[in-house]
Amino acid sequence: MKRLSLLSLIAAFTFIACEDDYTPKPHAYARVDLPAHEYIHAGGEQWHCPYSFDFSKYSAITVDPQFQKSNCWYNIYYPRYKATLHLTYTDLNDDLGQHIEDSRKLAMKHISKAAQIDETLIEFSDKNVYGIVYDFAGETASDMQFFLTDSTDHFLRGALYFRVRPNKDSLAPVITYIKQDISHLIGSLTWSDDRSADGTSTQH
């Protein structure tokens, strides 16, 4: 599929969420000391997946038995912050449009709790990486979701969740910190010809 048509397809599924006025409560919260961003590369001979990327030194790649139906579905877990980025991979089979629509629907499930949903188009044409990042503001269960694809073979989806329920304002520095890690992951993503995933599983 040509790059222009791929971007047109992605844009066709783009949803501009209604924005409500949102003003954070002027409460003070305990300071969170966050380390400088450092990254490790997930790739090489021991990484048998058709994609590779950089992830935070302060996180760990784990497997969630409840959802691990394919070899290349992983979690990036931040133990200190009880945050998990769930990564789900699928081999495409002439069904790109369906996967884009499914990802959009999963993101829009949070619209009732979202004060705002920002959508950012991803385009790294030199690496054949395209997609959309959904960034949520408000008391949503997920704080960020995204999908990335080369339009013909690969489709990777990510969803960030915290296993704690404090006020989102108190978590804001941590959320911003991890979102920066996700942005780095997206920018470092590359595809390969290692085809170990079968893509049959249940999405978050």
What pLDDT is stored for residue 18 in this prediction? 41
**Residue type for position 130:** Y
Integer Cα distance of 158 and 25 in angstroms: 29
- Distance, in Å, from the CA atom of 21 to the CA atom of 9, rounded to the nearest integer, reads 31
Cα separation values, 150 from 18, 51, 147, 190, Å? 29, 11, 11, 10
Q: Which of these, 160, 183, 138, 172, lies nearest to 29 by C-alpha position?
A: 172
Question: Which amino acid belongs to residue 105?
Answer: K
Compute the half-sphere exposure of residue 158: CA atoms within 13 Å on the CB side of its CA. 27
pLDDT of the chain, 204 residues: tens digit per residue: 555 566 666 666 554 444 444 455 444 445 578 999 999 999 877 788 999 999 999 999 998 776 665 678 999 999 999 999 999 999 999 999 999 999 999 999 988 888 888 999 999 999 999 999 999 988 888 999 999 999 999 999 999 999 876 567 778 899 999 999 999 999 999 998 755 444 444 445
The edge-to-edge listing of strands for the beta sheet with 39-42 is 39-42, 51-56, 190-191
167 phi/psi in degrees, rounded to 5 = -60, 135
**Residues 52/192, Cβ–Cβ less than 8 Å:** yes
Q: Tell me, yes or no, whether 196 lies in a domain.
A: no
Domain-embedded: residue 122: yes
181/166 Cα distance (integer angstroms): 22
| Residue 120 forms part of a structural domain | yes
Within-domain flag for 201: no
Residue 160 counted as domain residue: yes
Residues paired with 89 in a beta bridge: 156
Alpha-carbon distance of 37 to 56, in angstroms, equals 7
In a domain, 150, yes or no: yes
Q: What's the domain range around 166?
A: 3-12+37-191
**CATH at residue 138:** 3.40.1000
Asked if residue 61 belongs to a domain, the reply is yes
Flag whether 26 is in a domain.
no
Count how many domains the chain has.
1
